[in-house]
Structure 1
Amino acid sequence: MLKFLISEYKEGLRVPVEAEYDPPKIEVEFPDFRFSVPVRLEGFAEKNANTFRFTGVLTTRIRQTCGRCLRESEADMREDFDWIYETEGKETIDPLDNVRELLIFNRPLVYLCQENCRGLCPVCGKNLNENTCKCRQSGYHSFPVIKKLKPKKES
């Protein structure tokens, strides 16, 4: 866990910082968003008159379920950050909330295992990335009942 003890930093001096967070400590509340490796922060910390600045890059590897084919896969995550904290009346600064926020806000809303993922067949459920099926070729329509529900026009 990374915590900055403000008194250890000299004003105006940029100091290199490296830290890792174990995934359970971050507590991101998404069941399909898991970490394969620790979350790593690399950057610089700088103390100024009434502020403390931490800039750098967050990297990790996430494991998610594809929104089309439901296959679980991994992807690298890399996000730049520039955080400025008020220091008045504080002895330490803990960037954990900022780390959590950065991960949540940059999480893909719909994760795809690959850009051209073909998804699942809506009829038989086969993963179309791995198998082919004849359902689409047979002319099967998923919603034939809907045609019957079409309201009749009144004259």
Structure 2
Amino acid sequence: MDYAKVTRINLARLLKEGGTARASGVVEEAFWVGEERFPLEGEASWKVAVSSVGGNEYWLSGEVEGVVYMECRRCLKPTPTPVHAHFQHMLRYEQGLEGVVFHEEDEDEYYAFGEPDLDLLPFLTEAFVTEMPYTVLCEEGCKGLCPVCGADRNLVDCGHEAETPHPFQALKDLLPEL
């Protein structure tokens, strides 16, 4: 499949004639949320469909799939993690509106847009990042980092023993006579 390297869909024809508009493409290198970067292994592919549902309302549905590098929760090694996310949003066309604006009225949620050229990157980013797992392990038996010297225990045996604190250790200072 030949993917476009843009994250936009032109809805001019859909706004005039109704029906459904489809697009697909890729996101290269990384997703960004503010200053935080989520690096990709290769590219993340996406596809969307926008359908007219009457009046100035449209239904956006799509999916985005790729492999993101996340830090292992034990050793901090960059770990490739597959992510496949689906998303659906109600859109409302408001001519002349600049950008995309989220509205929440009672139980009604929608995104308003005013230009026929709709930027999909915010929708793709939100779906992808929301679907990422909270933590990952580079491998099931990851030994993690040494709490004494910081060495990666998967690569070297630093000789330090992990101290297992006794549950009543804090009471020792409170009751010195015991």
The answer to whether the superposition gives a TM-score over 0.5 is yes
Deviation track 1:48-89 (CA, whole Å, cap 9, x = no partner) reads 322222212101111122120121221211111112211131
Q: For residues 4-153 of structure 1, what are the structure 2 equivalents within 5 Å?
A: 4-9=9-14, 10-11=17-18, 13-23=19-29, 26-28=31-33, 29-31=35-37, 33-49=38-54, 50-89=56-95, 90-92=114-116, 93-123=118-148, 125-130=150-155, 135-136=160-161, 141=163, 150-152=173-175
More strand by share: 2
How many correspondences in the alignment? 147
Q: Residues 130 and 152 from structure 1, CA distance in 2 versus in 1: closer, same or farther, beyond 3 angstroms?
A: same
State the 1:130 CA deviation. Answer: 4.7
Counterpart residue type for residue 91 of structure 1: E
SS of match in other structure, 1:20? strand
Listed as ranges, the gaps of 5+ residues in structure 2 are: 1-5, 96-113
Q: TM-score, normalised by structure 2?
A: 0.64
Alpha-carbon distance in 2 for matches of 1:15, 1:4: 8
Report % sequence identity: 20
Q: Residues 116 and 15 from structure 1, CA distance in 2 versus in 1: closer, same or farther, beyond 3 angstroms?
A: farther
Listed as ranges, the gaps of 5+ residues in structure 1 are: none
Q: Residues 2 and 141 from structure 1, CA distance in 2 versus in 1: closer, same or farther, beyond 3 angstroms?
A: closer
Alpha-carbon distance in 1 for matches of 2:32, 2:152: 32
RMSD over aligned Cα atoms: 3.1
Alpha-carbon distance in 2 for matches of 1:110, 1:8: 43
Alpha-carbon distance in 2 for matches of 1:147, 1:91: 63
